[in-house]
Structure 1
């Protein structure tokens, strides 16, 4: 089972940590986390509702889709007009290039918006899984649980003296 969420804080004199030490650190940090379970869940849900809301971004995405569709129609109209009517090719090229530049700018904004929406939706899913896992568990854990690790841990930072800090999906950091 890979423990892929581990960061080493100091590149020089990197300590050797075993999988068992990482598992023990997670169990310890999780057990400290559940002491404040209700508050942690409430905060994670607030973060999810506030920071992961994509309503305005979805509106911006729709607006950009409409803008790009209009620009595509304008480019196609420009090309069709050039094919039907003899015109100054330098003037046509200038108009065509202007429309394509506007489309490219709208497409760049659209791609950025889609990427932000995707990142917020992914964060929302991680926070939802995090709060669900917390709700479903009662009390402390005695042994390492791989599925719990997978939905709870953002990463673990290992310091120079093997001290470990677990960063949970909600951003909570706990020294193990």
Structure 2
């Protein structure tokens, strides 16, 4: 659409103020749509990554066979994004799923 209006202005005598208003409107619309596309693409990538991580985690759980009775670093790393230790025995655990819990 932007290219069409540029071509029309190049071959036809147009009111330049009207042309500029239409051109600016189309460019603004394009920029907004492009930003929306980039945001949506990032959200899709994030969901794909989270889905893969969840599949890995579920596979590890299935391979366990029994209840977990001792610390498993591979299982821990597939579950936890990071843990923060605060003063006064407070720990906050951030899971890969986006859930955060505080343990006192």
TM (norm. structure 1) is: 0.48
- Residues 134/167 of structure 1: CA separation in 2 closer, same or farther (3 Å cut): farther
In structure 1, the residue matched to 2:4 is 77
SS at match of 2:13: coil
Q: Which residue of 2 aligns with 1:152?
A: 79
Cα 1:90–1:167 shift into 2, 3 Å: closer
Task: Name stretches of at least 5 consecutive residues in structure 2 with no aligned partner.
Answer: none
Instruction: Identify the residue that residue 89 of structure 1 maps to in structure 2.
Output: 16
- TM alignment of 1:125-164, pairs within 5 A: 125-139=52-66, 140-142=68-70, 144-145=72-73, 147-164=74-91
Q: CA deviation at 1:144?
A: 4.7
Which runs of structure 1 show a deviation greater than 6 angstroms over 4 or more consecutive aligned residues?
none
**Structure with a larger share of its residues in strand:** 2
SS of equivalent residue, structure 2 residue 84? strand
- Tell me the residue number matched to 2:27: 100
Instruction: Count residues with an aligned counterpart.
Output: 102
The alignment's TM-score, normalised by the length of structure 2, stands at 0.74
Q: What is the CA RMSD across the aligned residues, in angstroms?
A: 2.7
Contact kept? 1:157, 1:166, Cα under 8 Å: yes
CA distance in 1, matches of 2:100, 2:17: 60
* SS of equivalent to 2:14: coil
Unaligned runs of 5+ residues in structure 1 are 1-73
Instruction: Work out which structure has the larger RCO, using CA pairs closer than 8 Å and 6 or more positions apart in sequence.
Output: 1
Partners of 1:124 and 1:160 in 2: CA distance: 34
